[in-house]
Amino acid sequence: MTDVKEKESAKSKRKSSMTAEFARRLVKSWSAKLGLILMLFIILACLIGPYFTGYDLNWQDQSLMRAGPSAQHIFGCDTLGRDMLTRLLYGGRYSLLMGITSAVLGAVVGIAIGLIAGYFGGFTETIIMRFMDVWSSLPGMLLCILVSAAMGNGFFPTVLALTIGSIPGGARMTRGQVLSERSREYIEAAESINCSKLSIMFKHLLPNVIQPSIVITTMSVGSTINMAASLSYIGLGIQPPAPEWGALLADGKNYVTTNPHLIAVPGIAIALTVLAINLLGDGLRDALDPKLRG
Amino acid sequence: MADNTLLEIKHLKKYFRVPAGQNHAVDDVSFSIQRGETLGVVGESGCGKSTLGRTIIRLLEATDGQVLLNGQDITHVSGHKLREAREKLQIVFQDPYSSLNPRLRIESTIMEPLQHSGRFKNKAEMREEANRLMELVGIDERLRQSYPHELDGGRRQRVGIARALALNPDFIVCDEPVSALDVSIQAQVLNLLMDLQEKMGMAYMFVTHDLSVVRHISNNILVMYLGQAVEKAPTEELFEKSLHPYTKALLSAIPSVDIHRPMKRIELKGEITSPINPKPGCRFAARCPYASPQCEAPQTLEEVLPGHFVQCCRCKEINSL
């Protein structure tokens, strides 16, 4: 009996060997572990935290305007006397969602563009990559402001603006990888057995070129969260009373000297999130680095 | 015998554009391959052996010339006809470490050509066929779910062979299939290739620079120099009685195990000429001990003896035929 069981477990181990190996290496690196735990904590807090703070998003006590941290309001109250913790956690939902969505969307489009450019090469590649060069030479902030100005404020225009800004990075990265991978013989082999171009791109090339892009995407979640906050801060992006982190910062910007907690609370939240994401990205990079693979 | 011809290559040319001009990788090569034949293609590095193989099976587009498969011109076909031709023409690569997709399991790699052929109705049938192929090339069934990096070079090469066999081809280009393997494994893979040929009757074009390997496996040998075919003859005849000065030099470089027979090496002087924008005339003339002014004229491959083709204007003179 045990023999059979052992065989079974050996089989399942083999089947997931690559994923398992990756997971093992991921948890082995302390930066990944720390980043992952921190990130999970932040996400969970934003998702379920607001229900446990004891205050509603729009609960208000005007006698507590700009009040500092206290036992009832551990992060104090904002300029209108609303509970800071509740607003911070609600705001995190927007910030995280915008950051992650636009980074992932940007990566997906960027990777597809990079695949096409790298695989087809020649004229197609020149056109696409020169276009990407022009694209990425525009300052990201300016691009976002342009899109927001054209599309208006709100969640979707902001996501779109951030997505557009993060496309060229993924495209460049992927194209470089494709160029080095394309000359390998298994791509020729795929052609000789009548694989279609699409199948070569997505079945053969993609899994072999995606790893660095995953790392870059993870890292770019940090910068898109930052960018989203910056947009809200200057009045584009999410509009009040929605409590996005950048909007919270903007809200408190006039009271930096008198009530520093108004800036410190959302500022530290942004910093912690970006730190967690970068730690996670570092860990991912180490875990995925094929040179470390035995 | 004419109807036994599988492939006919007529004046095939493949030029690559490089910054310095045109690289004449394959320049006006003509020959034919019979069903079930093994044609060895030898020559030094960079003489266009691999390019020739890849151009024939349409992995590279020919610059000029024709490839006839069963009498039909496949040089410029596309779409459905190209797919059909590719099913008949397969390739086994030199480096078993880069010829398998590192992210695909062995079974998926072997099943892939089956999926694209459309000959199988469902996964179960394909899996069965993949099992048969694995057995045929001698890969243990327990390795089905393994990834290429878990296998040694010889096994990987067997997987590559199984993939090439999957579509039941008539012709396989073996592009130095054993040069990346160690000697004991080389013999196994060579014997496997020969056994498979006996069973399935396909023709091989065996590209290599290893003369002992080519002697062991080929019926005919084509000697290439700088993109051109300089001599083609049945194997034993070529080894016993080579006619082209380059072939003679090449064969004299085979180390002998018999210490009582001193090696008479013909040493070639000078560098190999550049294949970029070559002058008309014999490409070998610059290094040839028999070079004369008449070698500057364009050369053609001529049948000097029955079945023995040589591209050398002084061939008869040199060999006193």
- In angstroms, the CA B220 to CA B228 distance is 17
Say if B75 falls within a structural domain. Answer: no
Residue with tokens 């090569």: B29
In a domain, B161, yes or no: no
pLDDT digits (tens, 9 = 90+) for B250-275: 888 887 777 776 667 777 877 777 88
- pLDDT score, position A223: 85
Q: Which residue type sits at B106?
A: I
Best of B112, B119, B157, B179 to disrupt the A interface (most A CBs within 10 Å) is B112
The count of structural domains within chain B is 1
The CA distance from B198 to the nearest CA of chain A, in Å, is 23
Q: Does B116 touch chain A (CB under 8 A)?
A: yes
Record the pTM. Answer: 0.79
Q: Among residues B142, B121, B120, which one has the least CA distance to residue B131? A: B142
pLDDT at position A17: 63
Instruction: Kindly state the average pLDDT of the residues B265-287.
Output: 82
Taking CB atoms and an 8 Å limit, are B147 and A17 in contact across chains?
Answer: yes
| Confidence (pLDDT) at B197 | 92
Cα A150–chain centre separation: 24
**Is residue B207 within 8 Å of residue B26, measured between CB atoms?**
no
For residues A54 and B56, what is the distance between their CA atoms, to the nearest angstrom?
Answer: 76
DSSP A184: S
DSSP-based helix, strand, coil % in chain A, nearest 5: 80, 0, 20
A26-36 b/e (C-beta count within 10 Å ≥ 16 → b): beebebbebbb
Cα–Cα distance measured from residue B97 to residue B103, given in angstroms and rounded to the nearest whole number = 12
At B38-70, the pLDDT tens digits run 999 998 888 888 899 999 999 888 999 989 998
Look at residue A22 and tell me whether its pLDDT is greater than 90: no
Inter-chain contact B101–A191, Cβ cutoff 8 Å? Answer: no
Q: Give the separation between CA B259 and CA A265, rounded to whole angstroms.
A: 88
For residues A59 and A42, give the distance between their C-alpha atoms in angstroms, rounded to a whole number. 23
- CB proximity list for A231: less than 8 A, separation 6 or greater: A144, A145, A148, A158, A161, A237, A246
> What structural domains and CATH numbers belong to chain A?
28-50+75-289 (1.10.3720.10)
Domain that holds residue B264: 241-321
- Asked, for residue B285, whether it belongs to a domain, the answer is yes
User: Which distant-in-sequence residues (6+ apart) come within 8 Å of A170 by Cβ?
Assistant: A106, A107, A109, A110, A111, A113, A114, A213, A216, A217
pLDDT digits (tens, 9 = 90+) for A25-84: 777 778 888 888 988 988 988 888 877 777 777 777 777 777 677 777 777 777 777 888
| Residues on chain A touching B150 (C-beta within 8 angstroms) | 17
CB atoms within 10 A of CB A81: 16
Cα torsion for B209, B215, B216, B222, to the nearest 10°? 70
In a domain, B318, yes or no: yes
**Dist. CA A3–CA B176, nearest whole Å:** 44
More confident position, A76 or B310 = B310
Cβ neighbourhood burial of B141 (10 Å; 0-12, 13-18, 19+):
exposed
Report yes or no on B267 lying in a domain: yes
Q: What pLDDT, in 10s, does the model give residues B6-49?
A: 999 999 999 998 888 888 889 889 999 999 999 999 988 888 88
pLDDT at residue A85 greater than cutoff 70: yes
Which of A14, A17, A193 is opposite residue B167, by nearest beta carbon? A193
pLDDT at B96: 86
Q: Is residue B50 part of a domain?
A: no
Cβ count within 10 A of residue B291? 16
The pLDDT-based confidence of B90 (bands split at 50, 70, 90) is very high
Residue with tokens 């393994």: B146
User: Is the Cβ–Cβ distance between B113 and A194 less than 8 Å?
Assistant: yes
Question: Hey, what are B280's tokens?
Answer: 């008309």
Q: Tell me the three state secondary structure of residue B39.
A: strand
Q: Are B101 and A14 an interchain contact pair (Cβ–Cβ within 8 Å)?
A: no
Classify residue B75 by its DSSP letter.
S
What pLDDT is recorded for position A289?
A: 65
Asked if residue A9 has pLDDT above 50, the reply is: no
Per-residue confidence band for A108, with pLDDT thresholds at 50, 70 and 90? very high
Cβ atoms of residues A191 and A200 within 8 Å = yes
Question: What is the rounded average pLDDT of the residues B184-191?
Answer: 89
Q: Is residue B293 part of a domain?
A: yes
- DSSP assignment of A223-260, as one string? HHHHHHHHHHHTT-SSPTTS--HHHHHHHHGGGTTT-T
Average pLDDT in the B59-82 region?
89
pLDDT tens digits for range A130-146: 999 988 888 878 888 88
Confidence band, pLDDT 50/70/90 cuts, at residue B1: very low
Structure confidence by residue, pLDDT tens digits, B215-231: 889 999 999 998 889 99
Q: How far is CA A224 from CA A5, A277, B56, B225, in A?
A: 48, 11, 51, 58
Reply yes or no on whether the pLDDT at B286 is more than 60.
Answer: yes
* CB A225, CB A273: distance < 8 Å: yes
**Among residues of chain B, what percentage have pLDDT more than 70?**
98
Q: Are B94 and A207 inside 8 Å of each other by CB?
A: no
User: B99 contacts in A (CB within 8 Å)?
Assistant: 184-186, 188-189
Region B61-81: what's the mean pLDDT?
89
pLDDT at A228 > cutoff 90: no
- Neighboring chain B residues of A206 at a CB cutoff of 8 Å: none
Per-residue pLDDT reduced to its tens digit, B112-153: 898 888 788 888 888 999 999 999 998 888 888 888 888 888
Do the domain assignments include residue B224? no
Q: CA of A267: how far to CAs of A235, A275, B1, B77, in Å?
A: 17, 12, 86, 64
DSSP track, B168-179: --SEEEEESTTT
